[in-house]
Amino acid sequence: MNSRPALAFVAALLCCWLHGVVLAQTTTAAEPPSGLDSGLERQVRQLALEGTHAGAPGMPRVEVTVGQLDPRLRLAPCQHVDPYVPDGMRLWGKSRIGLRCTQGQTKWNVYLPITVKVFGPALVATGNLAAGSVLTAADLTLAEVDLAEENSAPISKDELAVGRTLARVLKPGQGLRQSHLKARQWFAAGETVTVLAQGEGFSVAGEAQALNPGIEGQPVRVRTESGRVLTGQPVGERRVELGL
């Protein structure tokens, strides 16, 4: 019996099997689907986009990535699912959309993870910048970044960054955030400061003595000439602004 045809047949089967394995590996490596009905996934995306006012004039570009439900969930069959934004939920960065079964023998309510990326201009590092570095204009350039990637506010103007000291390392292309900068001390405890009180249609200024150091982003207590103790925010060299 000639074994060559049989060997050729086995080789062909083996080739097909290996090709199938490669395809399976490729499919597995790709981004996993959300597991939702395509129509429901479109509703989720649209709800997230509407929550960020995407597409409105002057609004930045927004991308929504729909995650997966917890695979341990065993949800009863449902004829109609309503997506909704949970109370107090901010559709920014890593967030959630609620899914509520409204037509089914067993009503259920679950939360679907989503990631909302909001792109806009901000300063990014042009190279590796060490903690403690004093920023120069050459260290930074304007680029499009994901504004929602971190909670700290991004910085987009040179005058808010140049001359400031880095509190942590920045990598090339990494966006500069307020939390990356060391807080400035505008005055020391015991110094005389100008206190500003502004409201609709009026502005009042006076002098007071600082009872604690005026550190950027932290409340400061001051004592006025009449002895009254007030709390405000340090906003500049020996300047305090009162909230009304």
What pLDDT, on a 0 to 100 scale, did the predictor assign at position 45?
92
pLDDT digits (tens, 9 = 90+) for 106-159: 999 999 999 999 999 999 999 999 999 999 999 999 999 999 999 899 999 999
pLDDT digits (tens, 9 = 90+) for 42-78: 999 999 998 887 766 667 889 999 999 988 888 899 9
CA distance 35 to 113: 12
pLDDT confidence bin for 3, thresholds 50/70/90: very low
| Average pLDDT for 185-204 | 89
pLDDT confidence bin for 33, thresholds 50/70/90: low
Please, are residues 200 and 166 in contact by the beta-carbon 8 Å criterion?
A: no
CA distance 234 to 220: 7
What pLDDT, on a 0 to 100 scale, did the predictor assign at position 55?
60
Task: Please state, in angstroms and as integers, the Cα–Cα distance from residue 23 to each residue in 17, 30, 31, 46, following that order.
Answer: 10, 11, 14, 32
Task: Flag whether pLDDT at 190 surpasses 60.
Answer: yes
In sequence order, the β-bridge partners of residue 214 are: 187
pLDDT digits (tens, 9 = 90+) for 205-233: 899 999 999 998 889 999 999 999 999 99
β-strands 229-236, 239-242 pairing: antiparallel
Task: Flag whether pLDDT at 161 surpasses 50.
Answer: yes
Task: Flag whether pLDDT at 182 surpasses 70.
Answer: yes
| pTM metric for this prediction | 0.64
Going from the N-terminus, what domains does the chain have, and what CATH number goes with each? 38-118 (no CATH), 119-180 (3.90.1210.10), 185-242 (2.30.30.760)
Task: Flag whether pLDDT at 16 surpasses 80.
Answer: no
As a whole number of angstroms, the longest Cα–Cα distance in the chain is 115
Task: Flag whether pLDDT at 88 surpasses 60.
Answer: yes
CA angle 106, 111, 114 (to 5 degrees): 145
What pLDDT, on a 0 to 100 scale, did the predictor assign at position 19?
37
Helices (H), the chain: 4-29, 38-51
Mean pLDDT of the chain: 84
